[in-house]
Chains A and B, each alone.
Chain A
Amino acid sequence: MRLKSGRGIALFILCAWMIFTIFPFFWALLTSLKPPVQAAEIPPKLVFKPDFSNYVAVLFGGKGGFYTIVQEGFFKFFLNSFSVASLTTLLTLLLGTMSSYYLSRTKIGGEKFNLWILSFRMMPPIAVIIPFYIMLSFIGLVDSIFSLVLIYTIFNLPLSIWFISAYIDSIPESYEQMALIDGHSRWGVFWRIIVPMAKPAILISGLLVFIFSWNEFLFALILTGFKSKTLPVLATGFITQRGIIWGQLTATAIIITIPIFLLTLFTQKYLIKGLSLGIKN
Chain B
Amino acid sequence: MKKFLIVTIITFFIFTSCAKKENEITVIYFAGLPMGQLMKEMIPEFTQETGIKVNFLETPYDGVRTKELTSVKQNQGAYDVMYVDDIWMYEYAKEGIIIPLDQYVEQDSAEVDFDDFVEKVRIAEAIIDDTIWLMPQRADAQCLFYRTDLFEDEENRSEFLNKYGYELKPPDTWIEFRDIAEFFTRDLDDDGKTDLYGTTLTLKRPHFAFEFFAMRYWAFTNQQFLDENQSPIFNSPKGQEALEFLIGLKKYAPLGVSNWQHDESITAFASGITAMCPQWFAFYPVFNDPNTSNIVDNFSVTLVPGMNNDDKLVRAPSIGGGSFGIPVDSKLKDEAWEFIKYMTSKDFMKRAAMRGAIVTRKSSYSDPEVLEKHPIYSIHLKSLEISWYRPRLVKYAELQEEIGLAVSRAFVGEMTSEEALSIAEKNSIEIIR
Contacts and interface: CB of A to CB of B under 8 A. Distances in A.
Nearest to B60: A237
A201 B386 CA distance: 68
B67 interface: yes
Contact of A146 (B16, B271, B273, B292): B16
Interface stretch (A23-31, A63-71, A108-116): A63-71
B13 interface: yes
Nearest to B18: A227
A207 B10 CA distance: 28
Interface stretch (B29-37, B145-153, B335-343, B405-413): B29-37
Interface in B35-94: 37, 57-63, 66-67, 70, 74-76, 78
Given A40-B267, A243-B266, A69 B32 contact: yes
Given A66-B289, A67-B291, A242 B57 contact: no
A144 interface: yes
Contacts of A241: 30, 32-33, 61, 262
B298 interface: no
A134 B267 contact: no
A229 to B, nearest CB: 10
A144 B267 contact: no
Contacts of A141: 16-17
B188 interface: no
A141 B17 CA distance: 7
Contacts of B34: 66
Contacts of B67: 225
A71 B56 CA distance: 12
A150 interface: no
Contacts, number: 77
Given A67-B292, A146-B13, A42 B283 contact: no
A-side interface mostly:
loop
A137 B283 contact: no
B96 interface: no
A183 interface: no
A218 interface: no
Interface string A221-245: 1100111000000001101111110
B31 A242 contact: no
B76 A244 contact: no
Contacts of A133: 70
Interface string B297-341: 000000000000000000000000000000000000000000000
Given A42-B273, A227-B18, A237 B31 contact: yes
B263 A242 contact: yes
A37 interface: yes
Contact of B271 (A41, A69, A142): A41
Given A66-B292, A69-B32, A146-B13, A243 B267 contact: yes
Given A42-B273, A66-B286, A221-B63, A244 B263 contact: yes
Given A67-B289, A240-B32, A244-B263, 5 more contacts: A42-B271, A71-B58, A146-B12, A221-B63, A226-B57
23 contacts: A37-B292, A42-B271, A42-B273, A66-B292, A69-B32, A71-B58, A137-B70, A137-B75, A140-B17, A142-B74, A146-B16, A222-B66, A225-B78, A236-B60, A239-B60, A241-B30, A241-B33, A241-B61, A241-B262, A242-B283, A243-B264, A243-B267, A244-B263
Interface of A: 37, 40-42, 64, 66-67, 69, 71, 133-134, 137, 140-146, 221-222, 225-227, 236-237, 239-244
